[in-house]
């Protein structure tokens, strides 16, 4: 068990536990520097990120805003900016949390794109989906929502000559809990390698409201079960996933559930298959 945990943690480049507040502060600074260097290397000056109202996008958004503020100060170039985008589907039930996240992030610019018309238009055009069971249709529609949100972000980035940030981290990556070419698509992923507890710790360190930091995580893509907690989908808790990724002891049942999810979702973490000659 230990060897497989170590192997997976290494493949996901998991960040070691923070040993003290200084280590946490250094990690925050390292991630901000990563964003700055990536943006400067690209030759672009704008960042785009969808803000959901959860801790992941709240942290990534605040890191992005601090990164562009730092670049403006370092270079004297005030054209560096960050655009935070709200992407609700119709009326979002936790819109108050999203607004709280926007206040915390304090982005240079805020935009809202309601994806409902796009999702529904595509769904109506795909007549072959009419034969799906209610449960399967809900899953397919949920993935369309995730992809439509990323489509909107890339369209804005294309128009603004910007890079799109992603919010994937190690705890989601190991479970394959992201939509392929949806929220898994981005130009840079500044939370890569962090476990959920570290995401929360960094957000708290930066002053995020406790209601966001400790909010029950939910992808909220299912209409049959709105607000369904990630941990219900996983069958294990984030605390157990974090322990696994930090190579701590977990029960055989937890080990099996995580490894099974990791192996089954391998295709999501790989580039498209190509022929070998």
Q: What's the pTM value of the predicted model, to 2 decimals?
A: 0.96
Cα-based distances in Å from 181 to 149, 205, 211, 265, 270: 11, 31, 30, 13, 11
Known catalytic residue: 56? yes
Classify domain 2-269 at the CATH topology level.
Answer: Rossmann fold (3.40.50)
Structure confidence by residue, pLDDT tens digits, 94-116? 999 999 999 999 999 999 999 99
Higher-confidence residue of 219 and 259: namely 259
- Is residue 1 very low, low, confident or very high in pLDDT (cuts 50, 70, 90)? confident
Q: Which of 56, 94, 108, 220 is catalytic?
A: 56
Mean pLDDT of 14-34: 98
Residues 193-238: pLDDT tens digits? 999 999 999 999 999 999 999 999 998 898 999 889 999 999 999 9
User: What whole-number distance in Å separates Cα of residue 107 and Cα of residue 242?
Assistant: 30
Share above pLDDT 90 across residues of the chain, in percent, rounded to a whole number: 92
For the chain, the structural domain boundaries read: 2-269
State the catalytic residue, choosing from 27, 94, 168, 172.
Answer: 172
- Is 80 exceeded by the pLDDT of residue 169? yes
pLDDT in tens, 124-139: 999 988 899 999 999 9
Annotation marks residue 172 as catalytic: yes
- For residues 35 and 188, the answer to whether their CB atoms sit within 8 Å is yes
């Amino acid at each position: 068990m230990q060897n497989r945990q170590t192997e997976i943690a290494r493949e996901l480049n998991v960040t070691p536990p923070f040993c003290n507040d200084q280590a946490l502060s250094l990690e925050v600074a390292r991630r901000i520097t990563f964003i700055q260097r990536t943006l400067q290397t690209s030759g672009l000056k704008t960042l785009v990120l969808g803000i959901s109202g959860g801790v992941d996008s709240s942290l990534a958004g605040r890191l992005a805003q601090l990164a562009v503020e730092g670049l403006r100060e370092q270079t004297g170039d005030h054209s560096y900016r960050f655009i935070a985008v709200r992407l609700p589907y119709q009326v979002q039930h936790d819109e108050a949390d999203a607004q709280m996240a926007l206040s915390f992030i304090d982005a240079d610019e805020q935009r809202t794109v309601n994806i409902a018309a796009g999702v529904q238009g595509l769904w109506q055009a795909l007549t072959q989906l009419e034969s799906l069971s209610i449960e399967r249709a809900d899953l397919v529609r949920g993935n369309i929502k995730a992809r439509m949100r990323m489509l909107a972000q890339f369209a804005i980035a294309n128009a603004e000559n910007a890079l799109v940030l992603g919010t994937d981290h190690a705890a989601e990556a190991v479970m394959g809990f992201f939509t392929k070419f949806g929220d898994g698509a981005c130009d840079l992923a500044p939370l890569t390698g962090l476990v959920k507890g570290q995401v929360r710790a960094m957000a708290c360190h930066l002053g995020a409201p406790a209601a966001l930091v400790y909010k029950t995580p939910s992808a909220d893509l299912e209409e049959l079960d709105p607000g369904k907690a990630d941990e219900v989908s996983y069958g294990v808790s984030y605390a157990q996933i974090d322990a696994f990724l930090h190579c701590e002891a977990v029960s055989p049942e937890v080990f099996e559930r995580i490894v099974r999810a990791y192996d089954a979702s391998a295709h999501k973490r790989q580039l498209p298959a190509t022929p070998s000659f």
